[in-house]
């Protein structure tokens, strides 16, 4: 998998000084890039009863529908506040300064339904762990969390210790 790292562009000091941004647009434009990512995540999660793939806004929306297609599952969006039109459930989580939240339609997941959550990058794990809580609030079962990139040095995985986490590309620093 590691050869795919050559397709990830690292942009220093974006969106603010000190952040090294992992840009997946350079992977997406490569004809084999998206294919390799979706195949690898589908291999890991196939046969695990995944009924729904939930993508986290915004870059999770790029990968989750393709993975849902590969797993013969449905797709549901987990969105930033006040974007979804019908009745929603919400989970708030802490940022470095202040809080943020994620929302899901209350009818997006049935009790007992197995849901795979997908995003591009696992950083501190705050967003992903809020997404998992959201699915569980609806009675869903988190079948796993899949990421293209994991920033190992931020230890986001510790917040997701209860789950089957699969990240394809790891960065140690």
Name the residues annotated as catalytic: 59, 96
Binding to ligand AMP, residues 88-117 (CB under 6 A): none
Tell me which of 7, 156, 157, 168 binds ligand AMP, using CB under 6 A: 156
Cβ proximity of 164 and 114 under 8 Å = no
Q: How far is the CB of 108 from ligand AMP (least distance, A)?
A: 19
Tell me which of 6, 9, 13, 19 binds ligand AMP, using CB under 6 A: 19
Q: How far is the CB of 171 from ligand AMP (least distance, A)?
A: 9
Q: How far apart are the first and last CA of the chain?
A: 18
Size of the site for ligand AMP (CB under 6 A): 17
User: Would you count residue 146 as binding ligand AMP (CB under 6 A)?
Assistant: no
Cβ proximity of 95 and 117 under 8 Å = no
Tell me which of 51, 119, 142, 150 binds ligand AMP, using CB under 6 A: 119
Backbone region of residue 107 per phi and psi (left: phi > 0; alpha: psi in -120 to 50; beta: other values): alpha
Cβ–Cβ contacts within 10 Å for residue 149, how many? Answer: 20
Chain Cα centroid distance, residue 70: 16
> Is the bond leading into 53 cis (omega within 30 degrees of zero)?
no
User: Would you count residue 120 as binding ligand AMP (CB under 6 A)?
Assistant: yes
Q: Is 115 exposed, middle or buried (0-12, 13-18, 19+ CB in 10 A)?
A: buried
Those residues with Cβ within 8 angstroms of residue 161's Cβ, 6 or more apart along the chain or in another chain: none
Q: How far is the CB of 19 from ligand AMP (least distance, A)?
A: 6
Tell me which of 7, 53, 56, 76 binds ligand AMP, using CB under 6 A: 56
Q: Which stretch binds ligand AMP (CB under 6 A): 26-34, 67-75, 119-127, 138-146?
A: 119-127
Those residues with Cβ within 8 angstroms of residue 82's Cβ, 6 or more apart along the chain or in another chain: 103
Which C-beta is closer to ligand AMP: that of 29 or that of 72? Answer: 29
Tell me which of 55, 65, 77, 126 binds ligand AMP, using CB under 6 A: 126
* List of residues contacting ligand AMP (CB under 6 A): 19-22, 56, 59, 119-128, 156
């Amino acid at each position: 998998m590691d050869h795919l790292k050559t397709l990830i562009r690292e942009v220093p000091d974006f969106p603010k000084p000190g952040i090294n941004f992992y840009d997946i647009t350079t992977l997406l434009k490569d004809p084999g890039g998206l294919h390799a990512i979706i195949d690898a995540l589908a291999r890991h999660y196939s046969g695990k009863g995944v009924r729904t793939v939930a993508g986290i806004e915004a870059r999770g929306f790029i990968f989750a529908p393709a993975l849902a297609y590969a797993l013969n599952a449905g797709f549901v969006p987990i969105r930033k506040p006040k974007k979804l039109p019908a009745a929603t459930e919400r989970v708030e989580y802490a940022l470095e300064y202040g809080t943020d939240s994620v929302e899901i339609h209350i009818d997006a997941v049935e009790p007992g339904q197995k849901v795979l959550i997908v995003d591009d990058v696992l950083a501190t794990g705050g967003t992903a762990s809020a997404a998992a809580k959201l699915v569980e609030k609806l009675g869903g079962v988190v079948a796993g969390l899949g990421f293209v990139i994991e920033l190992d040095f931020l230890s986001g995985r510790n917040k997701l210790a209860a789950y089957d986490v699969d990240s394809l590309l790891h960065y140690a620093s």
